[in-house]
Amino acid sequence: MSYGNPFAGLRPALELIIREGRVLPATGQAVEDLMRPDHAEVIDGLRMDDKELDAILETPNRNAYVQLTQLHRIERHPLRYFLDGSARTFFLGDVVEGDRRSPVNVSQVGAAAVFRHDNGQMRIAGARHRIYLMMDRKSISFSDRIEQLIIAAGPGYAFCDLNEHDGETEVTSPGKEPRSKAAHKAHHLMSRLEEELGRELTRNEGEWLVLDGSLGKDLYRWKEIKNYFGLTKSFSRDPKFSLPGERGRKLRVNLYSLLTGLPNAARTCAFATRGGKMVMWYVRIREQKHLDYPLMGVVKVEYPNLALEPVSSETIDEISRAIIAERQAAPHGRDTRWHAHIYAIYLAEQAVKNGFISTEVLKAGLKWPMEKASATGSMDIA
């Protein structure tokens, strides 16, 4: 049975690469490039300008910990939309032109949002998927022609310069080798796709949007968006905190000490970060006694605060109570971060990945040399 090659839009660009340069293919045709170290944790550390947090930016609470009860949707249902993204990056090989060389990577990048009805049923509210051909622009003289061919392929395809400055990949990628930047660059592109989708969601008054991961480094890009916050499962271990102590003294603790003392179904006080433009706090959604170490079962909440005013403790409590109520269903064994998963976020993640083309199809659809592929861009799958 014959199906259209989902990567047919890349064929003209790849054929140009073969004509103009010498291709050194990856063994096995396509190899997935994974990120090292953990991207989410590195991004969280990068986006936190403050390594020592000593200002509590909420009112009236001044306690280090606040015990809470679940806020079930039957009582009140504020968390409605959940947005997540994913990216998969594959190394196809190197193209050599004279004494210059560039890796050739293909990334599948996607974002999806799910909506929950009052009866608990979930539906996909929106999804975006894009395929990127990634190369080092300056290393290949005909890269502009490659980009034009990718643009002509349609809106589902895009070109990415691995060495283009974006303010994050330069720090998160482990070295200067362009190939090492590909997976990290793909996750930066994923965050832009998440923002694009998040802006298009139509929400009623009081319906909150939950973003998976740390908020973007530029909060002002989201300034028109209301009622949203970021939820981070993997976060930086570096920050230090000053907690209220006896007789007005400050008690300085690290993250491990802070979270070791955090009871189940409780939150920490809310700290100011990024000059007060954001407040952050931690919520324990699972008991420590069932987990391996204190940082498990905890999520970090990031809440935009462009007004630079203390945030109502009531608002922080309501968000935290609603998050705790999400803990009951978890993909145990399906993800190493199961202990900190919000189930609706997990569903959004699956919605993204279900829209990806499988590794087997990718390897079959992207082979060197392209002359061996069908001229129509189709392929036979048994």
User: Quick one: pLDDT at residue 20?
Assistant: 86
User: Quick one: pLDDT at residue 376?
Assistant: 36
User: Quick one: pLDDT at residue 10?
Assistant: 87
Position 289 in a domain: yes
Position 50 in a domain: yes
Is 317 within 8 Å of 66 (Cβ atoms)? yes
User: Quick one: pLDDT at residue 46?
Assistant: 54
When divided into structural domains, the chain yields a total of 1
Read off the pLDDT of residues 5-42 as tens digits, 9 standing for 90 and up. Answer: 778 888 889 889 888 888 878 755 666 665 555 555 55
Position 306 in a domain: yes
Report CA 179 to chain centroid distance, whole Å.
20
Position 54 in a domain: yes
Position 302 in a domain: yes
Cβ-Cβ contacts under 8 Å for 84 (sequence gap 6 or more): 111, 112, 113, 194, 211, 212, 213, 345, 348, 349, 351, 352
Sheet holding 240-244, edge to edge: 52-53, 240-244, 250-254
Position 116 in a domain: yes
Q: Which alpha helices (DSSP H) does 128-266 contain, by range?
A: 143-152, 169-172, 178-200, 255-260
In the chain, the amino acid numbered 148 is: Q
DSSP letter (8 states) at residue 120: S
Position 347 in a domain: yes
Q: Which residues in the chain show pLDDT less than 50?
A: 1-2, 371-382
Position 382 in a domain: no
Quote the CA–CA distance of 354 and 334 in Å, as a whole number: 15
Is 287 within 8 Å of 35 (Cβ atoms)? no
Domain span at residue 93 reads 2-377
Quote the CA–CA distance of 317 and 37 in Å, as a whole number: 33
Read off the pLDDT of residues 203-260 as tens digits, 9 standing for 90 and up. Answer: 998 899 999 988 866 677 787 888 999 999 888 888 888 887 666 677 888 988 999 8
